[in-house]
Amino acid sequence: MLSYRHAFHAGNHADVLKHLILLQIAQYMGEKPAAFWVIDTHAGAGRYALDSAQANKLAEWRDGVGRLWDAKSLPPAAVDYLDFVKMLNPDGQLRHYPGSPWLAGQLLRDSDRLRLFELHSTDIQYLQDCFKGAGRKVQIANSDGFAGLKALLPPPPRRALVLIDPSYETKPDYANLIKAMQEALKRFATGTYAIWYPMLSKIESRQLPGRLKGLGAKNWLHATLEVSAPSPDGIGMYGSGMFIINPPWTLEKTLHETLPALTSLLAQGPGAKYTLESEGD
């Protein structure tokens, strides 16, 4: 949606879950010598100033990454995630937050590639500034990521992580996601797809995990993190989920070790919980 700005939500509990998992997948892929691509269909601005007017309007980061910043005895995956956030905050003060493109960019080797899509007229400029001088390793398109994904698959190295996290502010986002995934799996069934979604009371959100399972992928992992019970009035996001098709074999064990601590640290009320389910090898 062209009016959506992730700056209002940067660093919240959903970003913690999404970016921790993104890093685990990308680092795993980088352990093998063969090149890989990262494709981000809804890239946003690349990085965010937490002292900006947008970030401070809701200050969601305070109950997200802010709660982890000085926490003790974090599980290794959470420590690893925070280490990347600290790269943007070398003075030890939490003032900047990395978006998915920036995080992926830190893990690229010379042979790897990053392909980014963003429609918002302001965020595309920030995104281009974020990767100024990156050269051919990074390509940024001011276009619809759902449409652009089809043309990129399969990528030349036949190895890729595709991150899909639209705003879900309109009903077509849900249908467009399923359509894009149906086409993607036909073209590139062996790719790793990481799909983020908000947990909302609306029926489209509640039905999405089942629709993703119905895509027919033989190997998937589904993680959710709820920071509270759904509001009685049905308003607001009470958690988020990540549905990963063809995940690294190490990821489920890592999340079993990590999600209990995240749930405890990020809880905002009664009903905070996590789920983890999988199918395949």
Q: Residue 51: exposed, middle, or buried by beta-carbon count in 10 A (0-12, 13-18, 19+)?
A: exposed
* Residue 18 CB partners (closer than 8 Å, separation 6+): 100, 165, 194, 196, 240, 242
Give yes or no: 15 in active site. Answer: no
CA 76, chain centre distance (Å): 19
Q: How many angstroms from the chain centroid is the CA of residue 100?
A: 6
Q: What is the 3-state secondary structure (H, E, C) of 210-277?
A: HHHHCCCCCCEEEEEEECCCCCCCCCCCCEEEEEEECCCCCHHHHHHHHHHHHHHHHCCCCCCEEEEE
Helix (H) or strand (E) holding 105: helix 100-106
> CA end-to-end span of the chain, whole Å?
36
Select from 71, 67, 63, 69 the least CA-distant residue to 84.
Answer: 69
CA distances from 145 to 148, 189, 277 (A): 5, 18, 28
Q: Which of 123, 165, 173, 233 is catalytic?
A: 165
Distance, in Å, from the CA atom of 274 to the CA atom of 272, rounded to the nearest integer, reads 7
Residue with tokens 């429609």: 119
Is residue 127 within 8 A of residue 45, CB to CB? The reply is yes
Active site residues: 165
